[in-house]
Chains A and B, each alone.
Chain A
Amino acid sequence: SQTIHQWPATLVQPVGSPLSLECTVEGTSNPNLYWYRQAAGRGLQLLFYSVGIGQISSEVPQNLSASRPQDRQFILSSKKLLLSDSGFYLCAWSPRTGMETQYFGPGTRLLVL
């Protein structure tokens, strides 16, 4: 069966510090991968998605970037965090073809102070 991992689970970072959040998927190949952000009390905003290694699409302009160095690894980064980057970050995957359901990881709660 497929599983998706995210780490760390919780992170407190000062403004201006760098960020690296990691997501890995097991039990499947060639998945589509996604990063979402959920601000406090709000819905989910799609930040990035990837359909293959090195292929990243950005949905909104922002202070973050994403990379996919391996087929089942998706990394969310920032060089300098802003207060507004605080939130709950969710990684998700979906099969490459035939199905549209996305499966979500447990999330990383980021607090920028």
Chain B
Amino acid sequence: GDSVTQMEGPVTLSEEAFLTINCTYTATGYPSLFWYVQYPGEGLQLLLKATKADDKGSNKGFEATYRKETTSFHLEKGSVQVSDSAVYFCALSAGTASKLTFGTGTRLQVTL
């Protein structure tokens, strides 16, 4: 079945550091890929998405490129802020009814 694997956290960075959170997937067909973010005590918010190979999703300084050859969708940001501290979930959608398969999430902690 479909699956998403994310790097284990927590990830702790100093403000203005470069961020990479790895995500790889296994799916039949051609999935759409997503990054969601969950701030403490809140629901999930869509951060960015890509619907086909080589697409780049971007939002709020975050970027991720859909790499079909490596089945990856790594999240990057050039300079993180304390306000980016949250849990980040990679997900794919490849089946009926737009069902999402999530990774386990990666907690990011940014310090001053």
**Do the beta carbons of B32 and A100 come within 8 Å of each other?**
yes
Residue among A90, A92, A100 with the most chain B CB within 10 A? A100
Instruction: Give the residue of B34, B99, B103 whose beta carbon is less than 8 angstroms from that of A101.
Output: B34
Q: How large is the interface on A (under 10, 10 to 19, 20 to 34, 35 or more residues)?
A: 20 to 34
With A43-B89, A100-B93, A101-B34 known to touch, is A107 a contact of B99 (CB < 8 Å)? no
Contacts of B93 in A (CB 8 A): 100
A-B contact count, CB below 8 Å? 50
Contacts of A105 in B (CB 8 A): 43
Contacts of A94 in B (CB 8 A): 97-98
Q: How far is the CB of B60 from chain A (nearest CB, A)?
A: 16
With A43-B102, A43-B103, A101-B49 known to touch, is A32 a contact of B43 (CB < 8 Å)? no
**Do the beta carbons of A102 and B100 come within 8 Å of each other?**
yes
Contacts of B46 in A (CB 8 A): 101-103
Question: What 1/0 flags go to B97-112 for Cβ under 8 Å of A?
Answer: 1111011110000000
The interface of chain B, by Cβ under 8 A from chain A, is 32, 34, 36, 42-46, 49, 51, 89, 93, 97-100, 102-105
The interface of chain A, by Cβ under 8 A from chain B, is 6, 32, 34, 42-44, 46, 49, 51, 57, 90, 92, 94, 99-107
